[in-house]
Amino acid sequence: MNRRKMLSLLGISPALLAGAPVDAQKPKKSDAKATLNKVEALNPRGTPPPTQLVPMAPRLASLDGKTIYLIGDGFPGADHFLDQIGIWFKKNMPSVTTVYRLKAGAFADEDPNLWAEIKAKGNAAIMAIGH
Amino acid sequence: MVTKAFKDLAILNAAKRGMPHERITFTPHPVSGKTPDELRAYVEGNDPVSGKPMMMEIVDALTRPLSEDEKKTGMVPINVGPPSFKDTAVNLQEYFLNNGMTDFLPIILPTEETVDAMLKSTSHKPDEVCGKMAAGAYPPWEFTVKQVAVNAVMAGCRPEYFPVVLAIASSGTPSLFSSTNSFAYAAVINGPIRDKLNMNYGIGALGPFAQPNATIGRAWTLLSKNLGNGGIPGDTYMGSQGNNLNYNNAIIAENEAASPWTPFHVQKGFKVEENAISLFRGLGIVPGQGARGTSTDTPKHEEQFSDLFSVFTGFFGGLVIADPLVAVSLKSRGYDTKEQLIAWLYKNTTQSVKDYKSRDFAYGFDYPRALKGLEPYATWYKMPDDAMIPRWPHETDINVVVAGGQTNAFFQGGSLSYTVSISIDKWT
Amino acid sequence: MGFPTAPMVTIAFKDLALSNAAQRGMPHERICFTPHPVWGKTDAEMYAYLEGNDPVSGKPLMKEVIDSLTQPLTADESKTGTVTPVVGPPSFVDTADNLQQYFIDNGMTDFMQIALPTQEKVDAMLKGTSHHPDEVVGKMSPARGSYPEWSFTVRQLAINAVMAGAMPDYFPIILALAATELTALSSSTNSFAVAAVINGPIRDKLNMNYGIGAMGPFSQPNAAIGRAWTMLSRNLGNSGVPGQTYLGTLGNGINYNNLILPENEKASPWTPFHVQKGFKPEENVVSVFVGFSISQGQAGVGLGVKPVPQYHEALRYNMIPFGPLFGSLTVCDPLVAQGLVELGYDTKEKLADWLQKNSQISVKDAKSTLFAARWVPNSNPPLADDAMIPRYTKADSYNFVVVGGQTNPYHMVANMSYRASISIDKWL
């Protein structure tokens, strides 16, 4: 899927906005012939809440000498994958320190204790999400 | 003699088979699961329909001279109503629904115009006989291409889906069967038509996410009702609890592009570029996420399949519906073909003779076959209780298809037997 | 979180990750993609992913990870404020045929014919309740906490009830179902199913089918109420868009109409389900369940033995492939329930207690399942492999309802958990 299209939609079915083949307006009363067989059907879609934009955290100038947390969310295999990322840094950017942590709670839960630990002791994070 | 639960069925069926006045004696229901004492009480009691002593009624049925009606011969036509109905769209929707012609959901009204559009998708003549169908041990009804088109319209099929619906109909397999078991039906679809029709074999393949999958499956049930005389509860449908899959049936378009194995229709002798539909029937489909045999490092999917199968009845076959991730992983672990996997599953999915014999279907169906000397049942029934035997009589009872959107390495298991494969191209 | 983070996601979840980031307020989040899957790959294979390219951007993966942590933010990336998603105009005008296809093509249906929601029909539906059209009934998301919840009103539910083919007198049940806030289309890769048990006199008032074929396509209220659940989950519950809000890799045929289980209270020897949950027998209640699926119990051991079938043994056996994510829901034909009473299980609770004590799994077996961590208790020292642990820790994980037409003593078992019971009368 095209990212720009996705962004403009914010989770709404793209087809709803893309070149609708139907009138979105009520037919004019005078145009009786054209509207003879037309029906007005109500939109069944619900009420999504407004999305609060979240500015991204400022980036680092470089990763040299920094501590990066490698965070898994509990999906099978993520721990092994993050091990490999640790090995990659050791080989390719040895000044970087990596720390592996499993996020507490269910997949979608926040882990405020871990976030606080990273803020205090680390500089950035790489998070493996899903499988 | 029939138990009271089957009263309507027995009377209607006798009439359909030409004996509208058959002298049927009824017992209380059920007979299955009752003690000898309870059964003796049935025999010594009354027929619950007539209220007369049961055994007297049987004697009477065998000895009383026949009446004029009971001796009658000749043909009686069955009335299925006029060729068309005229009313407002709203009233027609209600009429179709209230007269058992739908699945109790809104349909597209089959007008001359919509049916003609459907008929344009096949080269076969509207009046050509497409097949015949019965929902059980009933006289089959014959039907034409046009009659199938009417039902395809009602189900919401677009004209280009029509050859697939014709192929299903021509098989004569109803999706609603009279058995007291509540059977489920599945169809595996192979060939380029899957992409031509935009069938869904990716994420949510078996769910409500694509018009061809949904409406082809629905058409199968509508034509089983309207052309196969199936699905009348108490008459041609006796499933005690019913099966939710009967609404749309399990339409499984194989994910051929992502599968590392031979497509199902090619296994059955078709060419890759041919379009074919393969039908299955049985008890249903369950997901395999609870099965033993997994680990976070190397999931042993074949062990998971076998574990899930270990609670299936051998009366129906076993169908693995594997996400492509599962199939690719199995291939990387040495299962180069579906046949190699099936051979392993057949060998490693076993049961004790004791467990086997204690099952409903073994007792009801296999034991009588064993008495007749049919194999493997005759041998199985002679073996000691603790001997281990295969789950299924034959290796060919196991089948494998690949479908799914690769969001996770999951599979589902069908307690389903393969019945037949039909060319879709023959019906284009 | 307050520190730069590089999220890494496998390519199978691309649409999900992008749309979810946007819905959560980071439309420009710098997401790095790896090939799919990670689970089941060897260390060497995973390292090769890292040395290769991001399959979405085509750029070297680890360079992208480093860039995402170090490239300065753009103006867009630093933006605050709110964005309101658009769901289209309040109504659509066209011919009936065009509107049908428009609703299907825009993901507002289950890909089949609907009853078009005209003002007239929606007004008639709203007469089925005393509640104000603008009253907010609840909110729903495809996975609580993972997606924004959409809220919905009585009127919006009426539109979806019309579309599903419901009659106005079914509307209070649909309102109660929606008020449970349980989506029929969970986003999980597992392909979950849902069920609704319906109790109280409304079952007979609406002519719901709890007899022959209860779970199949044989009754308008069963069919349309079930279908409305899927329709409203999609349109009002932010659910059911494959790849974004629906990730079930194989899908589930039950999602079309869901399992609608009006209990056969009259033929059941046990307490009705809603009374177990504290309601009065004369109250009307819907109780919802979520889990994997439902399977027929005919393969259970102990059903084909003399003198009477050992139904409790069969139930226990049929739950062997259940995982620990969900509890169990057994659907008994009245004949099975009566048989269980004769075996001494004169209450549902007694049967639940027996199953909880007698349905156990070894630690070794539990560890070999996918969700082992939820099953094997964390104890110090760890439990030995041959230790037996209960399949479920609480007897109330075993639920029973009685449904069926007594044509045969059959049962079905569902790996599903009870979630909530809601008064239908409150929504009259």
Position B153 scores a pLDDT of 96
- Reported as a single tens digit per residue, the pLDDT across B65-84 is 888 888 887 776 667 778 88
Measured between beta carbons, the chain B residues lying within 8 angstroms of A76 are 296
Instruction: Evaluate whether residue B354 is within a structural domain.
Output: no
Instruction: Evaluate whether residue A74 is within a structural domain.
Output: yes
Which residues are CB-contacts of B83 (< 8 A; sequence separation ≥ 6)?
none
Instruction: Evaluate whether residue A94 is within a structural domain.
Output: yes
Which one is predicted more confidently, C136 or B34?
C136
Q: Are B243 and B312 in contact (CB under 8 A)?
A: no
Instruction: Evaluate whether residue B79 is within a structural domain.
Output: no
> What backbone torsions phi and psi does residue C265 show, to the nearest 5 degrees?
-65, -40
Q: Which of C1, C149, C159, C187 to mutate to test the interface with A (most CBs of A within 10 A)?
A: C1
Question: Could you give the count of Cα atoms lying within 13 Å of C54 in the half-sphere of its Cβ?
Answer: 20
Instruction: Evaluate whether residue B32 is within a structural domain.
Output: yes
Which residues are CB-contacts of A53 (< 8 A; sequence separation ≥ 6)?
C25, C26, C27, C79, C80, C81, C82, C83
Instruction: Evaluate whether residue A35 is within a structural domain.
Output: no
Which residues are CB-contacts of C373 (< 8 A; sequence separation ≥ 6)?
none
> Are B168 and B207 members of one domain?
yes
Supply B59's token pair. Answer: 């004697």
Q: Are C197 and C218 in contact (CB under 8 A)?
A: no
Instruction: Evaluate whether residue B290 is within a structural domain.
Output: yes
Distance CA B243, CA C213 (A): 7
pLDDT exceeding 70 applies to what percent of chain A? 69
> Are B411 and B268 members of one domain?
yes
Q: List per-block mean pLDDT (blocks of 10 residues) for chain B, which spans 428 residues.
A: 82 76 85 82 88 85 85 74 86 92 95 95 97 92 96 97 98 95 97 98 97 98 95 92 97 97 98 98 93 76 92 93 95 96 96 90 87 94 96 96 94 97 98
Q: What is the DSSP letter of B45?
A: S
> Are B38 and B109 members of one domain?
no
| Nearest-neighbour CA in chain B from C351: distance (Å) | 19
Which residues are CB-contacts of B37 (< 8 A; sequence separation ≥ 6)?
none
The predicted model gives C121-143 an average pLDDT of 97
> Are B45 and B137 members of one domain?
no
Query: Which sign does the torsion angle of CA C99, C103, C109, C110 carry?
Result: positive
Position A131 scores a pLDDT of 59
Q: Are C197 and C417 in contact (CB under 8 A)?
A: no
Looking at the DSSP assignment, which residues form a beta bridge with residue B66?
none
Neighbours of B420 (CB within 10 A): 12
Which one is predicted more confidently, C300 or B336?
B336
B296 touches chain A (CB under 8 A): yes
Contact A41 C66 (CB under 8 A): no
Distance CA B412, CA B409 (A): 11
What is the distance of C-alpha B56 from the center of its chain?
Answer: 40
Contact A22 C98 (CB under 8 A): yes
Nearest CA among C316, C326, C325, C318 for reference residue C370: C325
The predicted model gives C327-335 an average pLDDT of 96
Position C269 scores a pLDDT of 98
| Nearest-neighbour CA in chain C from B73: distance (Å) | 33
SS (H, E, C) B52-119: CEHHHHHHHHHHCCCCHHHHCCCCCCCCCCCCCCCCCHHHHHHHHHHCCCCCCCCCCCCCHHHHHHHH
Peptide bond into B20 cis (omega under 30): no
Q: Are B183 and B285 in contact (CB under 8 A)?
A: no
The predicted model gives C393-403 an average pLDDT of 91
Please report where in the chains the tokens 């109803």 appear, as a residue. B174
Q: Are C255 and C237 in contact (CB under 8 A)?
A: no
For B202, the 3-state DSSP assignment is coil
Contact C240 B209 (CB under 8 A): yes
Q: Which domain holds residue A80?
A: 67-128
Residues in chain B: 428
Give ipTM to 2 decimals: 0.89
Distance CA A17, CA A8 (A): 10
Position C157 scores a pLDDT of 98
Query: Which chain B residue is nearest to residue A77, measuring alpha carbons?
Result: B296
Q: Which domain holds residue B46?
A: 2-71
Instruction: Evaluate whether residue B82 is within a structural domain.
Output: no
Instruction: Evaluate whether residue B371 is within a structural domain.
Output: no
> Are B419 and B313 members of one domain?
yes
Measured between beta carbons, the chain C residues lying within 8 angstroms of B32 are 309, 408-409
Residues of C (76-115) whose Cβ lies below 8 Å from A:
77-96, 98-99, 102-103, 105-108
The predicted model gives C211-216 an average pLDDT of 96
Supply C290's token pair. Answer: 């979520």
> Are B53 and B94 members of one domain?
no
Contact B249 C339 (CB under 8 A): no
Measured between beta carbons, the chain C residues lying within 8 angstroms of B258 are none
The predicted model gives C71-85 an average pLDDT of 83
Q: Are C157 and C179 in contact (CB under 8 A)?
A: no
Distance CA C5, CA C396 (A): 43
Instruction: Evaluate whether residue A79 is within a structural domain.
Output: yes
Position A35 scores a pLDDT of 53
Please report where in the chains the tokens 């109905």 appear, as a residue. B85
* DSSP codes of every residue in C72-101: PPPTGGG--SEE------SEEEEEHHHHHH
Which residues are CB-contacts of B423 (< 8 A; sequence separation ≥ 6)?
B167, B270, B274, B275, B276
The radius of gyration of chain A from alpha carbons, rounded to an integer in Å, stands at 25
Exposure string over C27-37, b if 16+ CB within 10 A, otherwise e: bbbbbbbbbbb
- Amino acid at position A127, single letter: M
Instruction: Evaluate whether residue A95 is within a structural domain.
Output: yes
For C246, the 3-state DSSP assignment is strand
Mean pLDDT score of chain C: 93
Nearest CA among B171, B155, B82, B80 for reference residue B115: B155
Contact C321 B307 (CB under 8 A): yes
Which of B103, B155, B360 shows the shortest C-beta gap to C223? B103
Measured between beta carbons, the chain C residues lying within 8 angstroms of A131 are 10, 12-13, 36-39, 189
| Nearest-neighbour CA in chain B from A11: distance (Å) | 17
For C173, the 3-state DSSP assignment is helix
Contact C22 A37 (CB under 8 A): no
Interface size A-B, in CB pairs within 8 Å, comes to: 5
Domain total for chain A? 1
The predicted model gives C240-249 an average pLDDT of 94
Q: Are C16 and C75 in contact (CB under 8 A)?
A: no
> Are B105 and B31 members of one domain?
no
| Nearest-neighbour CA in chain B from A25: distance (Å) | 25
Position B297 scores a pLDDT of 65
Measured between beta carbons, the chain C residues lying within 8 angstroms of B415 are 295-296, 299
Position A17 scores a pLDDT of 35
Query: Which chain A residue is nearest to residue C374, measuring alpha carbons?
Result: A106
> Are B39 and B96 members of one domain?
no
Please identify every stretch of chain A with a pLDDT value under 70, giving residue numbers as ranges.
1-36, 106-108, 130-131
> Are B14 and B120 members of one domain?
no
> Are B28 and B145 members of one domain?
no
Instruction: Evaluate whether residue A109 is within a structural domain.
Output: yes
| Nearest-neighbour CA in chain C from B336: distance (Å) | 18
> Are B249 and B291 members of one domain?
yes
Residues of A (62-91) whose Cβ lies below 8 Å from C:
62-63, 68, 75-78, 80-81, 83-85, 87-88
**pLDDT of C129 over the 50 cut:** yes
Q: Are C333 and C368 in contact (CB under 8 A)?
A: no
Distance CA B151, CA B165 (A): 9
Exposure string over B125-155, b if 16+ CB within 10 A, otherwise e: eeeeebbebbbbebeebebbbbbbbbbbbbb
B408 touches chain A (CB under 8 A): yes
> Are B39 and B127 members of one domain?
no
Contact B359 C299 (CB under 8 A): yes
Domain total for chain B? 2
For B371, the 3-state DSSP assignment is helix
Contact B106 C403 (CB under 8 A): no
Position A57 scores a pLDDT of 87
